Structure 1
Amino acid sequence: MNYFSTLKTALCVILLSTLVACTNYPPQTHTDIRPYARDLSQQLMDSGTYVRGGERVMITTAAWLEGDLNQADLLALQLQEGLTAELHRAHLHVVEFKMTDGVRVTPRGDFPLSRNYMELRETQSADYILAATAVNRVDGVTINARLIEFNSQVVAATAEITIPAAVVNALRSEQGIELVAR
């Protein structure tokens, strides 16, 4: 083998290694949590033997397990948005239950969504609700998610991921606010 052939082979190995590395989770300092939402979504669809495309799901915010299950943060809200996109890609019909009866037109923008229950539509219908909890761990934040059949309250699918501490800390410093409950 000559020098150029060896160099060419080495370059191919390096490029292939780089491509393989790009398919894994983002680097530890990256603040994009979409890969974690994608992983949760895939686990839910894989474990949900009776969950089929075309069914309707409401996606709620992951609550801190250490609290009264009534507290969330920016990390949980971002994960909820990511799961909305990923489960839609998995052909589930995502029900937007924060939709109001109209659009509020304000000097700051036009808004169809609200977190004020008095502004929301009264009736909502879904086959499943996605419920999730978050818990602090030494190595990051662990998210446990489950698809619950709306009428029977039977857990139809489950998933678990840990978002590495470096990613959570990077999100915290990028946003300038604390993301992890203390």
Structure 2
Amino acid sequence: MENKRLWAVMFVLLAFTLAGCTSTESMGSFWLGDDGEISHDEKPVPVPRGSGLVYTPDSRDREYQQYVTVEPGYRDPLHHGFFPSQTHKRLNDYASQLAMNLMENATRLTLEDRVGITSFVRLNQSLEDGTVLGNQLSEYLIAELQDFGLAIVDFKLAGGVTVTPYGDFVLSRKANALAKQVAIDHVVTGTIIEDDRGVRVNARIVSMQNKHVVASANVYIPAFIVMDLNKIVSTTALAN
């Protein structure tokens, strides 16, 4: 009988240790019945003070501590996106990745084909809603695709140079200043789809003759890259 009591005491001490009890916590009581079975009473009883039991934090405590020590206003990056305080990633890096994927998937496209690059637009009913991201991405793709040897055509080139007190200009978006027709074999175009975490860019190279898609690729640009672009544009507009 003494052995049974000794085993019961050892079991209770072990249960205290596994449950992570301190001297101020409580847990249910255990006892050994006459049939040799250990019984448990869910009604808590005080843990003896000075028992020498030491609590060792486990992974659950460390995980909980991460939640209680976060700053007020914490937003889960899995749902709201990641916003670093500093980043070396820029939009041209994503343009480079997009150009590489386009060229890897390209079919029936030669280095002699003349390629124009248009702005990327929001995927909506009009397909005419341009953005800062869409315009800048098309500008970066001019250099990125030319690095692969493509013959890039800039259809925004005006018929002559315009000299003003603010500078000398040859690019224009005015229809009457541009050539009526530009010889282009293929055009790079695409759409952007926005969500809380960023922007999905879907790009393709399309034949102007038969509308065949000769290359396609997509890339996901995080929201903090897009937000930085909008901040720069807003600051410039206020300065002017």
Between the aligned partners of 2:139 and 2:104, the Cα distance in structure 1 is 20
SS of the residue corresponding to residue 136 of structure 2 reads helix
Deviations 1:27-70 (A, max 9, x none): 77456211111111111111112222232101000011135111
Partner of 2:147: 89
Partner of 1:134: 192
Q: Which runs of 5 or more structure 1 residues have no equivalent in the other structure?
A: 1-26, 178-182
SS of the residue corresponding to residue 176 of structure 1 reads helix
Task: Report the AA paired with residue 110 of structure 1.
Answer: D
**Are the equivalent residues in 1 in contact too, given 2:117–2:187 (CA < 8 A)?**
yes
Tell me, yes or no, if structure 1 residue 38 matches structure 2 residue 96. yes
Partner of 1:161: 219
Between the aligned partners of 1:57 and 1:148, the Cα distance in structure 2 is 9
Alignment CA distance shift 1:67-1:168 (3 Å): farther
RMSD (Å), alpha carbons: 1.7
1:65 to 123, 135, 138: 123
Task: Find the structure with the greater CA-based Rg.
Answer: 2
Alignment CA distance shift 1:168-1:31 (3 Å): farther
Percent identity between matched residues is 36
Deviations 1:71-106 (A, max 9, x none): 212111110110011011111011010111101111
* Structure with higher RCO (Cα < 8 A, 6+ apart): 1
Between the aligned partners of 1:67 and 1:33, the Cα distance in structure 2 is 26
Between the aligned partners of 1:111 and 1:67, the Cα distance in structure 2 is 34
Between the aligned partners of 1:123 and 1:174, the Cα distance in structure 2 is 34
Deviation at 1:176, TM superposition (A): 2.2
Alignment CA distance shift 1:30-1:64 (3 Å): farther
Task: Report the AA paired with residue 178 of structure 2.
Answer: L
Task: Report the AA paired with residue 58 of structure 1.
Answer: G
Between the aligned partners of 1:83 and 1:128, the Cα distance in structure 2 is 14
Partner of 2:108: 50
Task: Report the AA paired with residue 42 of structure 1.
Answer: M
Q: Which runs of 5 or more structure 2 residues have no equivalent in the other structure?
A: 1-83, 236-240
Between the aligned partners of 1:38 and 1:66, the Cα distance in structure 2 is 26
What TM-score do the two structures reach when normalised by structure 1? 0.77
Between the aligned partners of 1:65 and 1:30, the Cα distance in structure 2 is 29
Deviation at 1:170, TM superposition (A): 2.0
SS of the residue corresponding to residue 107 of structure 2 reads coil
Between the aligned partners of 1:91 and 1:35, the Cα distance in structure 2 is 19
SS of the residue corresponding to residue 201 of structure 2 reads strand
Task: Report the AA paired with residue 220 of structure 2.
Answer: T
Alignment CA distance shift 1:57-1:131 (3 Å): same
